[in-house]
Amino acid sequence: MNQTTRMNQATRMNRMNRMRLVAVSAGLSTPSSTRLLADRLVQSARYELAAQGHEVETHVVELRDLAVAVANNLVTGFPAPPLAAAIDAVTGAHGLIVVTPVFTASYSGLLKSFFDLIDPQALAGKPVLVAATGGTARHSLALDHALRPLFAYLRAAVVPTGVYAASEDWGSGGDSYAEGLPGRVQRAGGELAALMSRREGKEGTEEHADDVDDVDDDVAVLERQLSDLRFD
Amino acid sequence: MQFGIFSVGDVTPDPTTGRTPSERARIKAIVAIALKAEEVGLDVFATGEHHNPPFVPSSPTTMLGYIAARTERIVLSTATTLITTNDPVKIAEDYAMLQHLADGRVDLMMGRGNTGPVYPWFGQDIREGINLAKENYALLRRLWREDVVDWEGKFRTPLQGFTSTPRPLDGVPPFVWHGSIRSPEIAEQAAYYGDGFFHNNIFWPFDHTRRMVELYRRRYAFHGHGHPEQAIVGLGGQVFMRKNSQDAVREFRPYFDNAPVYGHGPSLEEFTEQTPLTVGSPQQVIERTLSFRESVGDYQRQLFLMDHAGLPLKTVLQQLDILGEEVVPVLRKEFAIDRPVNVPDAPTHGLLRDARAVTAE
């Protein structure tokens, strides 16, 4: 085995273990408790993945920065370059953390608009952790009544623990009846990491086929169909 | 290389006057635009086909037949013909008829329509869109190429011993382009048959156009029709020009800002950066259009959308003067430079007839 081959193999091994973890934060203020929660969840999942021997690459998509681009895409049908990059990051991630403020009993409209722009098949099977923030704990079921159905439609694999952080959670611990925010963050991050590891163990984390290769698979099927219609 | 224009045929209020042309005025304007296109030396005029307001051109062969009678040279085409919801038998007959009337100056671009309800309006199911495009087109090809057709498919009643009349002029079916923005299946369909592929990139970033054309070229070669660079490619584009680029921007901005298809989204500047829309001097239009070749290779047909956003007829006719006098002659010269000899011209009736004669010998 020459040196180049060894190096290629090392790069390959490295890539095999490298996982992309992407968080989407739909908070609107700066600083934002939604972003704060996203960062905590990223940290927790990253820690667990690292403990399992994975190298982790993390990225946070701040939807606030893309608000105009999202609206423009809704009316033009195509994403401006920074939005296209965010969509690629989300669809190309091995695991996704989605955090939204609760507005009017649900996720924010900006979050929904962003996911409206993503191909409905693109998140199928992807491990997703859902989380939300709000003023009081009274809105916590928005996680299960709004966010879970959204990702169920997209056929993502949502981890069992969703994390809701009310304002008071940032200044209190748990009690004998319920876990505090840090405990929930840790549990949810662990669940996401476990799901990502399991899935990648099965499929391998090698770069998935890019656009063009996907298209090649599609056209091969189509070619057979066209031959079936062929007369000459 | 062919240069031409295509009209969507929308009736859009002029935002600077608030006036909306009547359907009659718009239809007559489209005819005037087509005649002007021939007058200023363009090669192609293509009309859209729509079955919902605010669009008027629901009956393309009526319109093109009328234009054919009043022109001598220009090729008449569509942008696009709905291969999904029209009966392929009627397409075969209508366009063969038009071929005879227009002495062969006819080709078609297949497309799938601009609105979901057009499928049920014509008794079809939108979920079958791609399948309709495939089956109907396969039948259309047979109707033009075989004198007597026995046929059975999924989407229309069977045919037994059917002859589509009139037969195509000189036994040469009209050349077909397949138009698509985002469906790789349509690029594959064009490649499979060795037909043309038109990417109507007017509302799309060029990188996307490049990838779709690349796919088509690769598959064209795969199916044995020639080298990738010999595949037949057409592109859209839309422009507004004044001698002075600032004047062009100033005059076009209210149209852009209010047009149903452009306005209330990205700014004119963002839109021109991200799509082929070019608003500026003729020189800027020349440079932009020449840059298309760098992305997709040497290609065969460039169509511009000129009567958009509610521009009044007078302005559109001025734009066509600029296009024909100042832009296209330069583009013809520039595109011809370094064009490889093996890159074919856009197929015309004459070329196809001659090729057929050679094959027959």
**Range of lowest pLDDT (A1-5, A60-64, A166-170, B245-249):** A1-5
For residue B73, the SS3 value is coil
**Per-residue pLDDT at B79 exceeds 50:** yes
Q: How far is CA B294 from the centre of its chain?
A: 21
In a domain, A6, yes or no: no
CATH code (residue A31): 3.40.50.360
In a domain, A34, yes or no: yes
Span A103-132, mean pLDDT? 97
Q: B188, A222: Cβ pair inside 8 Å?
A: yes
Closest-CA residue to A99 (of A89, A91, A88, A110): A110
B313 burial type by CB count under 10 A (0-12 exposed, 13-18 middle, 19+ buried):
middle
Span B316-328, mean pLDDT? 98
**Which of the four pLDDT bands, split at 50, 70 and 90, describes residue A205?**
very low
Confidence (pLDDT) at B218? 97
Q: B265, A72: Cβ pair inside 8 Å?
A: yes
The tokens describing B273, both together, are 């950066």
In a domain, A216, yes or no: no
Q: How far is CA A77 from CA A62, A73, B54, B86, B209, in A?
A: 21, 5, 20, 26, 14
Confidence (pLDDT) at B36? 98
Contact indicator for B65, B98 with CB cutoff of 8 Å: yes
**Which of the four pLDDT bands, split at 50, 70 and 90, describes residue A48?**
very high
d(C-alpha B180, C-alpha B204), whole Å: 11
Looking at the partner chain, which of A75, A218, A229 has a beta carbon nearest the beta carbon of B184?
A218
Contact indicator for A112, A153 with CB cutoff of 8 Å: no
Q: A215, B184: Cβ pair inside 8 Å?
A: yes
Chain B hits for A81, Cβ within 8 Å: 274
Nearest CA in chain A to B131: A225
In a domain, A219, yes or no: no
Confidence (pLDDT) at A9? 52
The structural domain count of chain A equals 1
d(C-alpha B135, C-alpha B31), whole Å: 33
A7 burial type by CB count under 10 A (0-12 exposed, 13-18 middle, 19+ buried):
exposed
pLDDT tens figures, B37-75 = 999 999 999 999 999 999 999 999 999 999 999 999 999
In a domain, A63, yes or no: yes
* Helices and strands counted in chain B (H then E): 13, 13
| Test mutation, A66, A117, A214, A222, chain B, max B CBs within 10 A | A222
Contact indicator for B199, B183 with CB cutoff of 8 Å: no
In a domain, A103, yes or no: yes
ipTM of the complex: 0.80
Q: B135, A226: Cβ pair inside 8 Å?
A: no
Confidence (pLDDT) at B348? 97
Chain B hits for A222, Cβ within 8 Å: 134, 185, 188-189
Distance from CA of A227 to the nearest CA of B (A): 9
In a domain, A209, yes or no: no
Nearest CA in chain A to B216: A219
Question: What element of type H or E holds A25?
Answer: strand A18-25
Q: B138, A231: Cβ pair inside 8 Å?
A: yes
Nearest CA in chain A to B145: A232
Q: Domain range for residue A58?
A: 18-201
Closest-CA residue to B93 (of B65, B69, B113): B65
The tokens describing B207, both together, are 């990188």
In a domain, A114, yes or no: yes
A60 burial type by CB count under 10 A (0-12 exposed, 13-18 middle, 19+ buried):
middle
pLDDT tens figures, B214-260 = 999 999 999 999 999 999 999 999 999 999 999 999 999 999 999 98
For residue B212, the SS3 value is helix
Nearest CA in chain A to B137: A229
Chain A hits for B189, Cβ within 8 Å: 222, 226
Span B301-320, mean pLDDT? 97
Give pTM, 2 decimals. 0.87
Distance from CA of A82 to the nearest CA of B (A): 12
For residue B17, the SS3 value is coil
